[in-house]
Amino acid sequence: MANSGQTDTAALVAMLSERAAVNVRLALVVDAQQWRLHHGQVTLDDDAPVKERAWRYSTATFLELCLPGPTVAALLQGDDQDVHGLHVVSPSPPSSSASTYQLRGQEEWGRVTTPWPRTEWTISRDASTPQPSYGLLVGDGPSFLNFDQALSAFLHQRPHDSTPGRSDLWRIVLPQREGWLSRITIGADLLTTIVDGEALDGAVLELSWAAGNECQSVDGAGAYHFPLPHGLAHDSLLMLRRADQWLDWRSFPAPTYGRARDASVVWEQPGPELELLLANGEGKYLECKQEVPEGDSRKKMLKTIAAFASQDGGTVLIGVRDDLQIVGLPEKPTVDKQELQVVGMIRDGVEPSPPYESRVIDHDGKKVLAIEVSGGDQMYAYRDRASQRPEFYVRVGPNTVPARHHEIAAGFRQAPTATTI
């Protein structure tokens, strides 16, 4: 994550105090017969009008509204305020500083993705703060099984999942729309990027790689082209900058591990992407299978997927031999049926369900099935069909080996226990 650091909380209070109004989402819980702030999310975006919402239950209330900046600043520094007919008790931040992150466009963090870059500040909740009630929520709003589901739906319009719980008391988001890369198309011999933005004067586009770089002046929003006479080099970096300050960027490393797909990057010819994926060979983050596995080979693949999910992620390529020759999936059964077969194997053999995506890559008419597994920040087990006993594994170089007791214990200690937001 680029440009992380700390910001004094007093500076954030001053910034909010100077604004006439800000957009906020508040999650309140009942504590000792009073409404306590559990989480506050502030969006400093004058271009995004708020559609006010209020979900009210006996033990929790969720509010989305526009509030005066000084009111939100007071809540941030721990002063109680009257909001939407409720007296809100706001805890003081346990630290005098906020974690600060500068994020590029299309970068997901905390379940939020925006086309343009943004700055985010987060302030942690005191670890001793009582957790919300986990009973059913029924009232003046949609019904939910528990607080976690309601909060995820209210903030993200997405169901609660097993991603690690967050412990933010406050989250403040500031969009950076000076300039951004809205779409990048990578062909065999040309990279095209669409640049957008509100203040592009003096901006420069730079494509850099290990052996050199190329720069272009940006004279406004539009399409810009970089010839690729030798294809896209490994570990290339495309940056939109002004002097020594970046506005937005994308990197194109040899993608040797599972990762979220970037909707702004289009590989016009998927072949180069697969070649990048295979550039470093099989190792800690890559496993190749010639065909959909059966028997012991099936068991080995599922153990590897569990190990990928338990650590930093990884990719399984089906249709590639161990010597990295791309042979493609057989014509029968259909590619769709083979993909469903693998998805069923993962569903039945790995617990809990690991975070992954499956997709088919077309390379010179040959179909390769990629299973891209993200690191899940907890332990995932292979469950043997016969014994039904969970088995835990880790990746050591190109090998999948049984996890040691301390590795299993560490994995469970970091498993999610707090509220996902």
- Any idea what the CATH number is for the domain that residue 245 is in? 2.60.40
**The two structure tokens encoding residue 406:** 């301390």
Which position has the higher pLDDT, 362 or 222?
Answer: 222
Q: How far, in Å, CA of 117 to CA of 181, rounded?
A: 9
How much of the chain exceeds pLDDT 70, in percent? 90
* pLDDT > 80? residue 167: no
Count of domains for the chain: 3
- Binning pLDDT at 50, 70 and 90, where does residue 236 land? very high
Same domain, 93 and 132: yes
Q: Say if residue 75 is in the same domain as residue 223.
A: no
Higher pLDDT, 113 or 216: 216
* Residue pLDDT, tens place only, 299-357: 999 999 999 988 888 889 999 998 889 999 998 899 999 999 999 999 999 998 888 88
Q: What is the pLDDT of residue 256?
A: 43
CATH classification of the domain holding 367: 3.30.950
Do the Cβ atoms of 317 and 370 come closer than 8 Å? Answer: yes
**What is the β-pairing status of strands 245-252 and 236-242?**
antiparallel
- DSSP class per residue in 22-83: EEEEEEEEEETTEEEEEEEEEE--TTS----EEEE-SSEEEEEEEEEHHHHHHHHTT--EEE
Q: What pLDDT score does 108 carry?
A: 83
Nearest 5 degrees, angle CA 303-CA 414-CA 306?
10
Q: Which residues pair with 361 in a beta bridge?
A: 368
Q: Model confidence over 261-277: pLDDT tens digits?
A: 577 887 765 555 677 67
For the chain, helix (H) and strand (E) counts, in that order, are 7, 28
Q: Is the pTM of this model over 0.75?
A: no
195 and 126 co-located in one domain: no
pLDDT tens string 179-203: 999 999 988 789 999 999 999 999 9
Shared domain for 293 and 163, answered yes or no, is no
Give me the pLDDT at residue 418, please.
Answer: 34
Extended beta strands in 236-365, E state? 236-242, 245-252, 265-267, 286-289, 313-318, 350-351, 356-363
Distance of alpha carbon 172 from alpha carbon 41, whole angstroms:
6
Which of 122, 143, 175 is the C-terminal boundary of a domain? 175
Tell me the average pLDDT of the chain. Answer: 87
Domain that holds residue 204: 180-253
Q: What is the pLDDT of residues 26-78, one digit of tens each?
A: 999 998 889 999 999 999 987 777 789 999 999 999 999 999 999 999 999 99
15 and 158 belong to one structural domain = yes
The answer on 279 and 212 residing in a single domain is no
- pLDDT for residue 224: 97
What pLDDT was estimated at residue 385? 74
Instruction: Decide which of 196 and 418 is more confident.
Output: 196
Domain's final residue, options 175, 206, 236: 175
Specify the amino acid at residue 203: A
**Residue 419 placed within a domain:** no
For residue 411, name the pLDDT band (cuts at 50, 70, 90): low
Residue 228: pLDDT above 60?
Answer: yes
Residue 202: both structure tokens together: 């003096």
Query: Angle 402-404-410 (CA atoms, 0-180°, nearest 5)?
Result: 120
Residue 217 and residue 157 share a domain: no
CA end-to-end span of the chain, whole Å? 19
Same domain flag for 203 and 90: no
Cα–Cα nearest to 254, from 274, 234, 231: 234
Instruction: Please name which of 71, 103, 97 lies closest in space to residue 175, comparing C-alpha atoms.
Output: 103
Domain boundary among 153, 175, 197: 175
Token output for 394: 């880790």
